[in-house]
A and B are shown apart, each in its own frame.
Chain A
Amino acid sequence: MGLGVEHAGQVRVSWRSRAAAALWRRPWARATILLTPPLAWFLLLYVAALVVLLITAFWQINPFTTNIERVWSLNNLSTIFTSPAYRAIIARTVGMAAAVTVTDTVVAFPFAYFMARVASPRTRTALFVAILLPLWASYLAKVYSWLLIFTRGGVLDSVLNLHLIYTNWAVFTVFCYLWLPFMIIPVYAALERIPSSLIEASQDLGGRTWRTTRSVLLPLALPGIVAGSIFTFSLTLGDYITPLLVGGTSATFIGNIIYSNIGIANNVPFAAAMALVPIAIMAAYLLGARALGAFEAI
């Protein structure tokens, strides 16, 4: 390889060939060159931004000029954790994220099972389109559609006499709807992977439907469920637009606090401190998910 013959009797190696040879001999160099641009992108734009966020959380703003003062203190974090109102908001956010995750799991599992193991290929394709199509529609358009469903005189109000608009039930419903595809897809992927022979073996051994589901399907689908829950949980944890649009007077979530502290208040340090809360929660969640083998399913 790599030897260019230019004139008879004179063997010259072109620079390209030499570089190729050098790289071939050094696999680590190949990897370095290949990975440097994406890694630099990741480190600069993602990790560096997070580090700056982390640092900012320990600064203050000057109440007179509202300029950021680079004086280290734990004031922001202590405010968050000593104020009952902020603790309640964190609890409400985590509770909402957990409720949405559980609901989506319960809805997604039978759906994904049907798609993966029961439906004909044709039906499966149709169902896939049905799940993925809403993802192509604008987030705002979907939330506003729900507003029309919830409002006084809307479908729920006039037909079922359910008055949900501007309540946390409305927020919960919209979240469950919005993030459902993110749960169905990984669960589907996990269920599809389970060999039919295992299910047959379970049945041969006398396992009925429930026993087979509990002892064979669920443990094998668990990584998919956990992977899906990472999406539903984290997406709910960070969202502030749905509460803003369909939520009522108690629809203040972590995202809303961050949102209202940035802007003219210019209290970026406090917003950064608040942003650390979901980061910490997600870090703990991901560690737990790894223990459950969720990352093998992604």
Chain B
Amino acid sequence: MTMTRERIRGHRRPVAIAIGIAAAAVLAAGCSSGGTSTPVGTASTGGATQNGGGAVAGQTVPTAGLPVLQQVGKGEGQLNLIAWEGYLDPKWVKPFEQQTGCQVNAKYAGSSDEMVALMKNGGGGQYDMVSSSGDADLRILYAGDAHPVNVNLIPSWKDFFPAFQSPAFNTINGVHYGISLQWGPNVLMYNTKDFSSAPTSWSVIYDSKYKGQVTVPDNPIQIADAALYLKTLKPSLGITDPYELTQPQFQAAVSLLAGQKPLIEKYWSLASQEIFDFKNGNATVGAGWPYQVSTLKAAKFPIGTTIPSEGATGWADTWMLAAKAPHMNCAYMWMQYISTPKVQAMQAVTYGETPDNKLACAEMDKLQAGSCEEYHANAPQSYFDSISLWKTPLATCDNGQNNCVPYAQWVSAWNTQVK
């Protein structure tokens, strides 16, 4: 947990342990793709659009036409991955190396921005994949740095929850640019001693009754949380996607947050900070991650949690394929491996995330009893439908008018109008 890991999602799961060896990415020789390729246009990319994909009006992905792999060939012996620290734990990397002969070379990135920078020029012919988050995905895609992926070659993809098969942040017009990895919701947390009945609406964090006891992330993306609440509260605003807001919708969300400020004692910027504030009574209700909830529960703290009726926002990571990936076969082997229930469960339990593979639930309980339930890995479809996953707010939006408020303005509004 370093201070530099602030980005849209705020700080990463604080469990991230420094693996120590920040292995300098090795420029491996070795030939690329031994498999055969055909252009995307003629071959099925599989699964097409479960939930529409995230087409952005007036913008195309420059690499959309690149041919996808049709058959995974012999491994190249090397795989260069850009990852969040701790995402390449020897626990699951070592077995992969033994199975496939692909030596994993890790390059750890400290921020989404660093990931975008490392992926510039398609990964520079050096990097194969990046474990990027929903906030960075679209920037990488639209810069033409990601390569289309043939999900038919990844057997476990079929076992993914539909919400993560073709999500808007990594699938554009039915073309996949990677495979979803893990995700987590931003849940409502409350001290059960202060709430006789469980709250069912986000309204509690905007309620002056809880003045001085509310805590929410110190993060401009909180505007999307306000927009999500307004979507139900004020249908007249016509909010459809909390990350694509027109100026009036955006202003409504911002003024809701400005009105919330007097209720707040602390905008939290580290997960550990929120845990500290709940424990010490500096906060009794707020927005947080399942990680904080399970940490507080483990400390026998009376913490309650819910996804309110309005739904919730959430973050999600993707293993994205670099446009100039030099080790295409090993990259596919990695996607095949990382999406299997057992590996998904291992990573979920280690980092307090929710797996994308629905078969991972049983494996999670084997690793840590009750963990599946705790991280909602067994939740019904309606649960996923209630989550709006993070993506970069861009000026371009689905309404075709390019009149949405871009993220830079989210930051300035957060700093000048909310705080």
Closest to A268 in B: B113
Residues 259-276 of B, flagged 1 when their CB comes within 8 A of A and 0 if not, give: 001001111010001001
Q: Please, how many angstroms separate the alpha-carbon atoms of A256 and B269 in the complex?
A: 12
B1-17: contact bitstring with A at CB < 8 Å (1 yes, 0 no)? 00100111000000000
Please give the distance in Å from B206's CB to the nearest CB on chain A: 15
Bound complex: CA of A260 vs CA of B143, how far in Å?
22
B residues 391-419 in Cβ contact with A at 8 Å: 392, 394-396, 402, 406-412, 414-417, 419
Q: B282 to A151, Cβ gap below 8 A?
A: yes
What is the bound-complex CA distance between A2 and B39, given in angstroms?
75
- Tell me the minimal C-beta distance from B138 to chain A in angstroms: 9
CB<8 Å pairs between A and B, sample of 13: A63-B395, A63-B408, A64-B395, A65-B139, A85-B416, A248-B266, A249-B264, A249-B419, A260-B220, A260-B415, A263-B8, A263-B111, A265-B407
| Chain A residues in 8 Å Cβ range of B196 | none
Complex Cα distance, B394 from A181, in Å, reads 47
Q: Which 4 A-B pairs have the closest CB atoms?
A: A85-B416, A63-B406, A63-B395, A264-B7
Q: Whole-angstrom distance from the CB of A73 to the nearest CB of chain B?
A: 15
Q: Is the CB of A260 within 8 A of B411?
A: yes
Q: Are A264 and B392 also in contact (CB < 8 A) when A64-B59, A244-B269 are?
A: yes
In Å, the complex CA distance between A82 and B32 comes to: 54
A165 and B419: CB pair below 8 A? no
Asked whether A85 lies within 8 Å of B408 as measured between CB atoms, the reply is no
Does residue B218 face the partner (Cβ distance < 8 Å to A)? yes
Whether A267 touches B411, Cβ cut-off 8 Å, given contacts A166-B282, A244-B269, A248-B265, is yes
Expressed in whole angstroms, the Cα–Cα distance for A152 and B282 within the complex equals 6
What's the nearest-Cβ distance from chain B to residue A57, in Å? 15
Query: Chain A contacts of B407 at CB under 8 A?
Result: 66, 264-265
Chain A: minimal CB distance from B394 (Å)? 6
The answer to whether the Cβ of B182 comes within 8 Å of any Cβ in the partner chain is no
Q: Are A249 and B416 in contact (CB under 8 A)?
A: no
Measured in the bound complex, the distance between the Cα atoms of B141 and A257 in whole Å is 28
Chain B residues with CB below 8 A from A265, complex form? 220, 407-408, 410-411
Number of interface residues of A (CB under 8 A): 38
Residues of B within 8 A of A196 (CB): none
Q: Is residue A270 within 8 Å, beta carbon to beta carbon, of the partner chain? A: yes
* Complex Cα–Cα for A66 and B120 (A): 13
* Alpha-carbon distance A61/B409, docked complex (angstroms): 11
Q: Is A270 a contact partner of B142 (Cβ separation < 8 A)?
A: no
How far does the alpha carbon of A264 sit from the alpha carbon of B415 in the complex, in Å? Answer: 15
**With A244-B3, A257-B415, A267-B411 already in contact, 17 other A-B pairs whose C-beta atoms are closer than 8 Å:** A63-B406, A64-B402, A64-B406, A65-B143, A66-B139, A66-B394, A151-B276, A152-B280, A152-B281, A154-B280, A249-B265, A259-B6, A260-B411, A260-B415, A261-B412, A266-B113, A270-B408
Question: Which A-chain residue is minimally distant from B395 (CB atoms)?
Answer: A63
| B261 adjacent to A261 (CB under 8 Å) | no
The answer, among B113, B142, B396, B419, for a CB contact under 8 Å with A262, is B113
* Assembly CA distance A86 to B408 (angstroms): 15
Q: Which residues on the A side are within 8 Å of B395 (C-beta)? A: 63-64
- Per a CB cutoff under 8 Å, which of A151, A245, A264, A267 touches B112? A264
Q: Which among A65, A67, A147, A165 has the greatest number of chain B C-beta atoms within 10 A?
A: A65
The total of interchain contacts (Cβ-Cβ below 8 angstroms) comes to 102
Known: A263-B7, A270-B408. A64 touches B394 (CB 8 A): yes
Shortest A180–chain B CB gap in Å is 23
> Is A250 part of the binding interface, using a Cβ–Cβ cutoff of 8 Å?
yes
Question: B136 within 8 Å of A by Cβ?
Answer: yes
- The docked-state distance in angstroms from the alpha carbon of A270 to that of B411 is 11
Q: Report Cα–Cα, A270/B6, bound state, in Å.
A: 18
Give the number of residues in B that approach A within 8 Å (Cβ atoms).
Answer: 44
Q: Is the CB of A85 within 8 A of B417?
A: yes
Among A61, A166, A263, the residue within 8 A (CB) of B265 is: A166
A64-B143 Cα distance, complex, nearest whole Å: 11
Q: Which residue of B lies closest to A140 (CB)?
A: B3
Residues of A within 8 A of B406 (CB): 63-64, 66
Complexed CA–CA distance, A89 and B267 (Å):
17
The residue in B8, B113, B264 that gathers the most chain A C-beta atoms within 10 A of its C-beta is B113
Output the nearest chain A residue to B3 by Cβ-Cβ distance. Answer: A241
Residue in chain B with minimal CB distance to A84? B416
Closest beta carbon of chain A to B283's beta carbon, Å: 10
Q: Which of A89, A140, A249, A267 contacts B408 (CB 8 A)?
A: A267
Whether the Cβ atoms of A264 and B8 lie closer than 8 Å is yes
CA distance A66 to B392 in the complex (A): 10
- B135: Cβ under 8 A from any A Cβ: yes
Bound together, the chains give a CA A265 to CA B392 distance in angstroms of: 9
**Residues 76-115 of chain B, each 1 if its beta carbon lies under 8 Å from chain A, else 0:** 0000000000000000000000000000000000011100
Q: Is A249's CB under 8 angstroms from B135's CB?
A: no
Chain B residue at minimum C-beta to C-beta distance from A65: B142
Q: How far is the CA of A241 from the CA of B273 in the complex (A)?
A: 13
Interface string of A104-131 (1 = CB under 8 A from B): 0000000000000000000000000000
Q: Is the CB of B282 within 8 A of A165?
A: yes
Contacts of B396 in A (CB 8 A): 64
Shortest CB–CB separation between residue B229 and chain A, in angstroms? 19
Inter-subunit contact A250/B113 (CB<8 Å): no
Q: Which residues of A contact B136 (CB under 8 A)?
A: 264
User: Once the chains bind, are B112 and A249 in contact (CB under 8 Å)?
Assistant: no
Question: In the complex, how many angstroms separate the beta carbon of A80 from the nearest chain B beta carbon?
Answer: 10
List of A residues within 8 angstroms of B143 by Cβ: 65, 67
- Decide yes or no whether A32 CB sits under 8 A from chain B: no
CA distance A79 to B265 in the complex (A): 28
| Least CB separation from A167: chain B residue | B265
Chain A proximity of B390: nearest CB distance (Å): 10
A86 touches B416 (CB 8 A): yes
CB distance from A47 to the nearest CB of B (A): 24
For B111, what are the chain A residues with a Cβ–Cβ distance below 8 Å?
A: 263-264
Q: B261: which A residues are within 8 A, CB to CB?
A: 249
Q: With a CB–CB cut-off of 8 A, which chain B residues contact A89?
A: 415
Q: Give B261 Cβ to nearest chain A Cβ, in Å.
A: 5
